[in-house]
């Protein structure tokens, strides 16, 4: 009997040691010292597959973070990161240290942070990677990075004056200044609606038809979005929320991106493998901000 | 503290009736404790991982949750048959524990690919399916008939101590690993605990190969158990009641959403329910031996009815709901097996348990899928009301089936 107890005790110690050892030695290494900062000023982009910051002087500094999509505001960053065979949403602090990671099912597509840095959102494609035709589905989630509240799937929100949620897909979230209201696209029955959501109430209501990938202006009065034209290309357009008046922007190429407000009067977006900017009032011409870059966010 | 009371062969040679429970029951309980630490580490994080992390829809989760439990119905029967036929209950149980241990490593390899995770969970549940019936058979064969409720009560208490500690261990690992999403660390720690469980089984559990009559178990004889009206009634009642049970994950997800709990606290819900289970399993097993086993089982399902009604209403303090949920498990899980034990001949006991448990597992498969769909289509309140209605119908019917037909 004694030898049995001895074996059991020894095994307990060895196995506990093995478990603790694994847990301890696989702790994520602290992010390598980086001179990059999300504190700004500058332009955050994805370039050559990694998160990079373009300074006011035009120099581009790359990090070692591989991201499919990036965004940042007020010292909080988000990186839709590719691990082996899987994606994660990683929330970053101003020094690019990972604060939290959430596994993602699907291909990363959109990412946003509210102006205060508190709310983080993302969208993934669940099946297929083309939504210009055929079947596709998206998942959009929101994380309150301050208290950890997670809404992993907008499909669980109630939709007023809308159809039941079953065939609905949501994407392209953008946050209002109160960190509770947000806008997003809902696709259902062949239409893509602009939805206004309430995070605390887990509810959304329809605002307007044919609005995709909204981006709310810093003053909260206008929405920049991609409007689908009859030939199924997209035209960057700004919607005045008070009057619902639409202003097509000077960019005439088809832009498949969630635009970002670089300031109250300028829209940034990725097209043709570069980050471009165009005035928000429909005047002017597009200008190239950064070649070989995408996924812009003003820091 | 338990090691000193566990002597191999104690139940063979000593007088089990003089002890509160036999040494073999304690040994099996210890194995279950360690194994449940391992299992619950994983299951405590899994619903949150699948629904909140991998963004499976509720209906998909229902399919995953139900399918992988229901699909083990056949392996339960196979395990029960082999265990009886060759009287290798310890070996079959050991294989089951071993498979589940291997599955923990499989979770590491599966990464975040839902299909692979599903396959690994299937292996894990297959292991559970294989081991449960032989283990319960060993418990009954090591205990006197009038102490079965007590024996199962003690075993389930030890078992739920593991279930109680498991989620806490998972949270400790997550905290130590420095990230709320270090699932690989949880899986490795869970694997180590599972290996220890297998080892304890090998070292301390005694099979009962010597005292059985030399009658060969066979599949026709196993299914022939159903010709006995009393056992058939019990099986029908178990299936009926199983069909009204929607699965822990759902209950915890509803509570997590209702109270908008931070994700990291999710495993604590299982801890709360398991604490009630742990505290109540032995007293309720003892009570079942005294006042009759079927009233205790029906009382348990009445508690489940209350849980569903509270979930439907969206009200009720969280500790009360978790307490009632633990009460439900404490009053039904082991007691139902104690009800079945005396109806089954010793040489076919594993097969008989496997039949009951398979029926329950299949019923659970159906109820989980349906509940997932109902949730998605009608929302939580209506889905919970439907589940409560199902319990309300099943209760009196099961009462008639169980009462009078069992001792």
Which percentage of chain A shows pLDDT scores above 90?
46
Nearest to A11 among B112, B176, B199 (CB): B199
In a domain, A8, yes or no: no
Nearest to A103 among B57, B181, B195 (CB): B181
Structure tokens at A287: 């200008």
In a domain, A1, yes or no: no
In a domain, A2, yes or no: no
Over residues A51-68, the mean pLDDT reads 85
Over residues A8-34, the mean pLDDT reads 79
pLDDT of residue B210: 54
Q: What is the sign, positive or negative, of the torsion defined by CA atoms of B379, B381, B383, B384?
A: positive
Nearest to B55 among A20, A83, A153 (CB): A153
Q: Collect the ranges in chain B with pLDDT lower than 70.
A: 1-19, 48-57, 67-68, 71, 111-114, 178-182, 209-217, 260, 262-264, 404-407
Q: Give the tens place of pLDDT for each residue, A171-216.
A: 899 999 999 999 999 888 778 899 999 999 889 998 999 999 999 9
Instruction: State the smallest CA–CA distance between residue B318 and chain A in angstroms.
Output: 18
In a domain, A15, yes or no: no
| Predicted confidence (pLDDT) at residue A2 exceeds the cutoff of 70 | yes
Q: Give the tens place of pLDDT for each residue, A120-153.
A: 999 887 643 333 333 456 788 999 988 888 887 8
Q: Which domain holds residue A228?
A: 24-298
Q: Cβ A102–B200 below 8 Å, yes or no?
A: no
Instruction: State the smallest CA–CA distance between residue A14 and chain B in angstroms.
Output: 9
Report how far residue B245's alpha carbon sits from residue B252's, in angstroms, rounded to the nearest whole number: 13
Instruction: State the smallest CA–CA distance between residue A70 and chain B in angstroms.
Output: 19
Chain A residues lying within 8 Å of B181, measured CB to CB: 88, 100-103
Q: Cβ A26–B377 below 8 Å, yes or no?
A: no
In a domain, A12, yes or no: no
Report how far residue B191's alpha carbon sits from residue B381's, in angstroms, rounded to the nearest whole number: 38
Per the structure, how many domains does chain A have?
1
Nearest to A16 among B53, B54, B192 (CB): B192
Q: Which residue of A has its CA nearest to B262?
A: A149
- The answer to whether A90 touches A120, Cβ cutoff 8 Å, is no
* Every domain of chain B and the residues it spans: 20-204+221-402
Q: Cβ A26–B185 below 8 Å, yes or no?
A: yes
Instruction: State the smallest CA–CA distance between residue A23 and chain B in angstroms.
Output: 5
Task: Give the count of beta carbons closer than 10 Å to the beta carbon of residue A191.
Answer: 12
Chain A residues lying within 8 Å of B184, measured CB to CB: 26
pLDDT of residue B9: 39
Nearest to A85 among B113, B193, B195 (CB): B113
In a domain, A185, yes or no: yes
Q: Cβ B204–A100 below 8 Å, yes or no?
A: no
Q: Give the tens place of pLDDT for each residue, A95-111.
A: 888 888 887 766 778 99
Q: Cβ A8–B199 below 8 Å, yes or no?
A: yes
Structure tokens at B84: 């009886």
pLDDT of residue A31: 46
pTM over 0.80: no
- The answer to whether B352 touches B300, Cβ cutoff 8 Å, is no
Chain B residues lying within 8 Å of A12, measured CB to CB: 196
pLDDT of residue B123: 87
Tell me, which fold does domain B20-204+221-402 have in CATH? Growth Hormone; Chain: A; (1.20.1250)
- The answer to whether B380 touches B254, Cβ cutoff 8 Å, is yes
The HSE-up count of residue B323 (CA atoms within 13 Å, CB side) is 5
- The answer to whether A260 touches A269, Cβ cutoff 8 Å, is yes
pLDDT of residue A138: 77
Strand partners, A238: A224, A247
Report how far residue A73's alpha carbon sits from residue A39's, in angstroms, rounded to the nearest whole number: 8
Q: Cβ B181–A88 below 8 Å, yes or no?
A: yes
pLDDT of residue B263: 59
pLDDT category at A84 given cuts 50, 70, 90 is very low
- The answer to whether B384 touches B372, Cβ cutoff 8 Å, is no
In a domain, A266, yes or no: yes
In a domain, A293, yes or no: yes
Cβ-proximal residues to A115 (8 Å cutoff; 6+ apart), any chain: A73, A74, A175, A177, A218
Chain B residues lying within 8 Å of A29, measured CB to CB: none
The enclosing domain of A60 has a CATH number of: 2.120.10.30
């Amino acid at each position: 009997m004694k030898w049995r107890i001895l074996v059991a005790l020894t095994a307990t110690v060895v196995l506990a040691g093995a478990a603790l050892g694994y847990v301890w030695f696989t702790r994520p290494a602290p992010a390598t010292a980086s001179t990059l900062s999300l504190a700004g000023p500058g332009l955050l982009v994805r370039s050559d597959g990694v998160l990079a910051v373009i300074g006011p002087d035009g120099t581009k500094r790359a990090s070692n973070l591989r991201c499919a999509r990036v965004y940042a505001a007020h010292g909080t960053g988000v990186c839709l990161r590719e691990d082996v065979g899987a994606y994660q949403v990683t929330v970053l602090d101003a020094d690019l240290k990972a604060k939290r990671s959430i596994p993602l099912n699907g291909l990363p597509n959109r990412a946003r942070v509210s102006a205060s840095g508190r709310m983080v959102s993302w969208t993934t494609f669940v099946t297929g990677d083309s939504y210009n035709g055929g079947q596709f589905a998206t998942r959009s989630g929101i994380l309150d990075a301050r208290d950890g509240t997670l809404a992993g799937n907008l499909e669980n929100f109630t939709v007023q004056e809308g159809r039941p949620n079953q065939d609905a897909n949501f994407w392209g979230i953008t946050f209002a200044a109160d960190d509770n209201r947000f806008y997003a696209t809902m696709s259902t029955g062949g239409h893509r609606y602009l939805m206004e959501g309430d995070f605390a109430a887990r509810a959304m209501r329809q605002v307007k038809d044919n609005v995709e990938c909204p981006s709310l202006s810093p003053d909260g009065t206008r929405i920049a979005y991609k409007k689908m034209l009859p030939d199924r290309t997209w035209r960057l357009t700004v919607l005045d929320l008070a009057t619902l008046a639409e202003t097509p922007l000077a960019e005439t190429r088809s832009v498949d991106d969630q635009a970002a407000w670089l300031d109250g009067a300028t829209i940034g977006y990725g097209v043709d493998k570069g980050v471009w900017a165009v005035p928000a009032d429909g005047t002017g011409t597009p200008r190239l901000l950064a070649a070989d870059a995408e996924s812009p966010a003003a820091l | 503290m338990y090691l000193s009371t566990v002597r191999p062969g104690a139940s063979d040679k000593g007088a089990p009736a003089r002890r509160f429970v036999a040494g073999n029951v304690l040994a099996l309980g210890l194995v279950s404790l360690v194994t449940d630490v391992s299992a619950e580490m994983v299951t405590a994080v899994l619903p949150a991982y699948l629904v909140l992390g991998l963004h499976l829809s509720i209906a998909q989760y229902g399919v995953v949750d139900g399918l992988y439990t229901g699909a083990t119905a056949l392996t339960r029967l196979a395990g029960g048959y082999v265990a009886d036929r060759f009287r290798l209950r310890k070996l079959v149980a050991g294989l089951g524990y071993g498979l589940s241990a291997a599955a923990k490593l499989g979770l590491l390899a599966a990464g975040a690919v839902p299909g692979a995770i599903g396959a690994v969970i299937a292996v894990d549940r297959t292991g559970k399916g294989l081991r449960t019936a032989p283990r319960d058979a060993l418990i009954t064969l090591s205990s006197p008939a009038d102490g079965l409720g007590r024996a199962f009560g003690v075993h389930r208490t030890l078992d739920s101590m593991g279930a109680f500690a498991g989620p806490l261990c998972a949270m400790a690992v997550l905290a130590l690993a420095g990230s709320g999403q270090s699932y690989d660390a949880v899986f490795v720690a869970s694997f180590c605990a599972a290996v220890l469980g297998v080892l304890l089984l090998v070292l301390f559990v005694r099979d009962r190969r010597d005292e059985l009559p030399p009658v060969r178990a066979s599949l026709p004889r196993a299914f022939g158990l159903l010709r006995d009206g009393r056992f058939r009634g019990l099986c029908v009642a178990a299936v009926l009641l199983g069909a009204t049970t929607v699965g822990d994950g759902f209950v915890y997800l509803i509570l997590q959403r209702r109270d908008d709990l931070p994700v990291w606290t999710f495993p604590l819900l299982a801890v709360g329910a398991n604490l009630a289970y742990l505290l109540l399993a032995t007293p309720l097993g003892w009570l079942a031996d005294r006042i009759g086993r079927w009233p205790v089982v029906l009382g348990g399902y009445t508690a489940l009815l209350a849980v569903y009604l509270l979930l439907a209403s969206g009200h009720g303090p969280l500790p009360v709901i978790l307490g009632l949920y633990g009460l439900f498990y404490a009053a039904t899980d082991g007691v139902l097996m104690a009800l079945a034990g005396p109806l089954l001949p010793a040489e076919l006991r594993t097969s008989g348990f496997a039949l009951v448990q398979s029926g329950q597992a299949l019923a659970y498969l159906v109820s989980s899928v349906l509940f997932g769909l109902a949730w998605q289509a009608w929302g939580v309140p209506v889905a919970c009301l439907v589940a409560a209605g199902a319990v309300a119908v099943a209760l009196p019917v099961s009462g008639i089936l169980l009462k009078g037909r069992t001792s």
